[in-house]
Amino acid sequence: MSKPFWNGVLPAITTPFLANGCVDHAFLAKHVGLMMEAGSTGIVPLGSLGETATLTFDEKKAILQTVVKAVNASGKAGAAVVPGVAALSTAEAVNFAKMAKEVGCGGLMVLPPYVYTSDWREMKHHVSQVIAATDLPCMLYNNPIAYKTDFLPPQVAELASEYSNLVAIKESSADIRRIAAIKSLIGSRLHILVGVDDIIVEGIAAGATGWVAGLVNAFPRESVVLFEMALAGKWKELEPLYHWFLPLLKLDTVPKFVQLIKLVQEHVGMGSAAVRAPRMVLVGDELAEAERIIKHAISTKPQFPA
Q: Which CATH number fits domain 4-232: 3.40.50.970, 3.40.830.10, 3.30.499.10, 3.20.20.70?
A: 3.20.20.70
Beta strands in the chain (DSSP E): 9-11, 42-43, 80-81, 84-85, 108-110, 138-142, 166-171, 191-194, 210-213
Helix, strand, coil distribution of the chain in percent, nearest 5: 50, 10, 35
Alpha-carbon span 173 to 181, nearest angstrom: 13
Alpha-carbon span 22 to 31, nearest angstrom: 16
Diameter over CA atoms, the chain: 51
253-279: per-residue pLDDT in tens? 999 999 999 999 999 999 999 999 999
187-232: per-residue pLDDT in tens? 999 999 999 999 999 999 999 999 999 999 999 999 999 999 999 9
Identify which of 130, 140, 133, 181 has the alpha carbon closest to the alpha carbon of residue 160.
140
| Domains in the chain: boundaries | 4-232
Q: What is the pLDDT of residue 3?
A: 74
83-126: per-residue pLDDT in tens? 999 999 999 999 999 999 999 999 999 999 999 999 999 999 99
Alpha-carbon span 221 to 227, nearest angstrom: 10
Q: What is the pLDDT of residue 4?
A: 82
